[in-house]
Structure 1
Amino acid sequence: MSDSRENAPAPLTDAGPMHTDTDRCLRAAQAKDARFDGWFFVAVVTTGIYCRPSCPVVAPKAENMRFHPSAAAAQQAGFRACKRCRPDASPGSPQWNERADLVARAMRLIADGVVDRDGVPGLAARLGYSTRQVERQLLAELGAGPLALARAQRAQTARLLIETSALPMADIAFAAGFASVRAFNETVREVFALSPTELRQRAGRGPRAGVPGALTLRLPFRAPLCPDNLFGHLAATAVPGVEEWRDGAYRRTLRLPYGPGVVTLSPRPDHIACQLSLADLRDLAGAISRCRRLLDLDADPAAVDDLLRTDLQLAPLVDKAPGRRVPRAVDADEFAVRAVLGQQVSTAAARTHAGRLVAAHGEPVEDPAGGLTHLFPSVQALAGLDPETLAMPRTRRATLTGLVGALAEGRVALGVGSDWDDARAALGTLPGLGPWTVEVIAMRALGDPDAFVPTDLGVRRAAAELGLPATPGALTRHSTRWRPWRAYAVQYLWATDAAHAINRLPTA
């Protein structure tokens, strides 16, 4: 690793797309700084390959480098993926989780597999734009349209299956979303300059016996990463039957488009170990996307922490445990329901309420490896429940049934492609959903990095201990210096409050 890291440029935000600033890209590539992996890709005209900025090989001459905003753009320009740094497996660009515009929403939906399931017209319909508008904006910013972006994702999914399973190649082709074995073979050769069989041989494992649908993966992230608030929170709030903390790993069931799944996630020094058991392998790309979103793995912690350190009161918290992420959700509707169940009650009580819903309305699943028993009930299943069966105050019953009805009928949309402002406005019209609940849903379910909860007791208590303003209005005014990362500031504040011990990694 070059020692010129200190001179590497900060990733661009308001200044414009990273790949358009040649000088910055060149300096980042010469510094070989892994922070920039996923922000842009380096193509080398003399070799015909494209790499991560952190590729360990000797840097090519500056005049031989070309910079692309996406792997798909590099592939469309005729470059093949580097066999050493594997740029197709780099963390995703943080922009798609930081932004709420059309391109970011489209990228989140493509990662979730919408183009493979519903085509470009389905993507455009979810975004509320015409197909031509979506294609034009993606091409302008990313150098590739939705079909090319989805194709690049299919190639990466195929590579994962080739290298981590013993499935026949024909099965891999259709599981990865290809329409034919021929298209699968041609794409793999074009992107990786190897045949599918050669890729499997290169992985050094050969065909392996195993349970069909069970895969072991490594989920990369940008360092640093503090696992405490991620896994501590998920373990402490785990809903019985749906989630559990077992043998140093967080496990949960997944509701996916083609069938159920079970995921096991374990923190490691340089990656997250991920084991996926899927009823249908066509769900692989979407399952990986949801796991990455759950753990906020595409975040840019350097950018977040550098800004928060400019506040002298927050700086010691950041320095003590840098790289805190925002624990998010694999299913936005599920989280919204759980947020209402948790209103004005303890974490234990919220788990109890959710566990009762699961036992009564969840779909059974089999989990030979642990104690998971159900999928969290869908809003369609909950829409028919009798409010009188809920052991909670009448007003909260009304809030829950009102939310469930709005989600089931589509009056409130919280999916990965939803508009954050529209979702907030729609939630705010529902009886019983105050600013705290709306902002928690925005933070955890929608993924808004600037969501803020100034009325939260833990946040106010921590602010007072640090000498920050403790009233909601004053704290909100002070928090403008933390924008657009206020959701991360909340994680640091919660970590100082004894009542939020859930932000600590379980020891057993």
Structure 2
Amino acid sequence: MHTDVERCVRAVQSKDERFDGWFFTAVLTTGIYCRPSCPVVPPKVENMVFHPSAASAQQAGFRACKRCRPDASPGSPLWNERADLVARAMRLIADGLVDREGVPGLASRLGYSVRQIERQLLAELGAGPLALAKAQRAQTARLLIETTTLPMGDLAHASGFASVRTFNETVREVFALTPSELRSRAKGPGTQTPGVISLRLPFRRPLCPDNLFGHLVATGVPGVEEWRDGAYRRTLRLPHGHGIASLRPGPEHVECKLALTDLRDLTTAINRCRWLLDLDADPVAVDDQLASDPVLAPLVLKDPGRRVPRTTDPEELALRAVLGQQVSTAAARTHAARLVVAHGEPVEDRDGGLTHLFPTTGALADLDPEALAMPRTRRATVTTLVAALPDLGLSIGGDWQRARAQLAALPGIGPWTVETIAMRALGDPDAFVATDLGVRFAAENLGLPTKPAELVRHAAQWSPWRAYAVQHLWATGDHAVNRMPV
């Protein structure tokens, strides 16, 4: 979008927050860059230059605005809407892959050469993978500086910097302030629980929390997930340890509290929580498209801003999808809870009732199918999937269509399971569970075709947002997944 100068200028002059994260405005006369909704008086048009990423603006020598904090913008919705190389790379960079495995690790995961990755990211984003990861580290550093009392040396390590010197230089370069100055300007960490980091997760408005939190809680696995004191809480398996996330919806942001065994996992934990809640979506674009169908228009008008509830662990979601085949939500939770107790890794939760991490495929490798209280054919599907998961490569940076083909080739994995995994584990915004019972009931009540093939043909007009249409269709039913818990 940054190449459409006229459109960008209109967004800046109207301070349109919907475009925060889509592009960044660099001001030639001040040497700073801002988000489109920056509250200061917009600069003259001739002094504006537009960048596709914060990293691009930083590489061009611009510093982050101290007023609007462009580094804290919601992420670009493009990286969740698209399945091409750049989008997949951006999702993996956000998950911290470059910090953990370097650019060669990113290239290996995507199946391309380092040169191809760098060339495509530079062409579209004006910055390579290292610069994009550096910008993300700077954002994490600022967050820790302003919300914790950690010593700067510990903070530099937790932010992913190789040395305190590099940490200091990067913070000064990006924010035009030293780390100590940033901390002194901040309001301070306020009331903090020892060992817990509190922060705000921004999103593009509107946001309908009903189905989002209702679904996560109604389908939550006991011991792994819970609803407590108005917040959804769950355990997280992270690269350097584990964590517990607490997410509470609000009108302006989602309140997030993270308890981590290793602070190096902060960036990954934040982005997995954002991914779980689909916070980088563009609800206006989604709702406009769906509302063009007279059948869906009243549903969209009633509850704008619905999101797709996702997962923090694609392999976990895949297993849970199979456990939920042709059974009630309660039965699926029971099956998953038994696996957790028998094979999950115990954790301590001093603030609630979480007890385990969901078991890894390695922990389930020796699973006795006779221990599963389900039909023999589904037992075989579970064990087959467990054996296949290490080679499927299910991840937020995965290839949606390749994953679909691999899943569909497994015995016992049908269209409902494939599309459920595509929608919630892989994040495909156009996934469509045409055979789902709730979708078919909704279709019948709304006068839509009920036969899957005919419904798919009608739903073509909802593309590329059919996963969001599913949320609206489900919401026509009286089920706990559609309601915020009380």
Q: Does the pair score TM above 0.5? A: yes
Q: Contact between 1:495 and 1:501, CA under 8 Å: does it hold in 2?
A: no
Q: 271-280 or 454-463: which moved more?
A: 454-463
Distance 1:207 1:348 in 2: 40
2:157 to 164, 174, 183: 174
User: Any idea what the Cα deviations from partners look like across 1:344-370, whole Å, max 9, x if unmatched?
Assistant: 111011110000000000000010000
Q: Contact between 1:254 and 1:330, CA under 8 Å: does it hold in 2?
A: yes
Matched, 1:43 2:26: yes
Runs of 4+ in 1 over 3 A off after TM superposition: 206-210
Equivalent residue for 2:368? 386
Q: Contact between 1:414 and 1:446, CA under 8 Å: does it hold in 2?
A: yes
Residues 243/263 of structure 1: CA separation in 2 closer, same or farther (3 Å cut)? same
The amino acid that maps onto 1:250 is Y
What are the equivalent positions in structure 2 for 1:139-154 lying under 5 Å apart? 139-154=122-137
Matched, 1:425 2:430: no
Q: Give, in angstroms, the shift of residue 473 of structure 1.
A: 1.2
Equivalent residue for 1:362? 344
Distance 2:307 2:275 in 1: 11
Equivalent residue for 1:3? none
The total of aligned residue pairs comes to: 486
Matched, 1:236 2:218: yes
Does the residue aligned with 1:263 lie in a helix, a strand or coil? strand
Distance 2:355 2:434 in 1: 37
Equivalent residue for 2:435? 455
Q: Give, in angstroms, the shift of residue 463 of structure 1.
A: 1.3
Q: Contact between 1:112 and 1:286, CA under 8 Å: does it hold in 2?
A: yes
Q: Give, in angstroms, the shift of residue 272 of structure 1.
A: 0.1
Q: Give, in angstroms, the shift of residue 204 of structure 1.
A: 2.3
Q: Contact between 1:165 and 1:215, CA under 8 Å: does it hold in 2?
A: yes
Equivalent residue for 2:302? 320
Equivalent residue for 2:97? 114
Equivalent residue for 1:69? 52
Distance 2:214 2:12 in 1: 35
Q: Give, in angstroms, the shift of residue 417 of structure 1.
A: 1.4
1:187 to 159, 170, 173: 170
1:345 to 327, 332, 355: 327
Unaligned runs of 5+ in 2: none
2:278 to 296, 306, 317: 296
The amino acid that maps onto 2:402 is D
* TM-score, structure 1 normalization: 0.95
The amino acid that maps onto 1:474 is E
What are the equivalent positions in structure 2 for 1:182-331 lying under 5 Å apart? 182-205=165-188, 210-212=193-195, 214-331=196-313
Q: Give, in angstroms, the shift of residue 464 of structure 1.
A: 1.6
Distance 2:199 2:395 in 1: 25
The amino acid that maps onto 2:327 is V
User: Any idea what the Cα deviations from partners look like across 1:167-217, whole Å, max 9, x if unmatched?
Assistant: 0000010110001100000000010011000111111227987523x1000
Distance 2:281 2:90 in 1: 15
Equivalent residue for 1:29? 12
Distance 1:96 1:117 in 2: 20
Equivalent residue for 2:461? 481
Matched, 1:445 2:425: yes
The amino acid that maps onto 2:398 is S
The amino acid that maps onto 1:263 is A
Equivalent residue for 1:491? 471
Does the residue aligned with 1:379 lie in a helix, a strand or coil? coil
The amino acid that maps onto 1:135 is E
Distance 1:354 1:208 in 2: 36
User: Any idea what the Cα deviations from partners look like across 1:371-422, whole Å, max 9, x if unmatched?
Assistant: 00000000111111111111111100100000110013x1x11111111111
The amino acid that maps onto 1:312 is P
2:81 to 98, 114, 118: 98
The amino acid that maps onto 1:385 is L
User: Any idea what the Cα deviations from partners look like across 1:261-301, whole Å, max 9, x if unmatched?
Assistant: 00000000100000000000000000011000000000000
Residues 209/28 of structure 1: CA separation in 2 closer, same or farther (3 Å cut)? closer
Distance 2:321 2:259 in 1: 27
Equivalent residue for 2:444? 464
Distance 1:460 1:445 in 2: 22
Q: Contact between 2:274 and 2:280, CA under 8 Å: does it hold in 1?
A: yes
Unaligned runs of 5+ in 1: 1-17
The amino acid that maps onto 2:108 is A
Matched, 1:129 2:112: yes
* TM-score, structure 2 normalization: 0.99
User: How much is the aligned-residue C-alpha RMSD, in angstroms?
Assistant: 1.0
Does the residue aligned with 1:85 lie in a helix, a strand or coil? coil
1:400 to 377, 382, 387: 382
Q: Give, in angstroms, the shift of residue 96 of structure 1.
A: 0.5
The amino acid that maps onto 1:387 is P
**Percent of pairs identical after alignment?**
75
Distance 1:503 1:207 in 2: 35
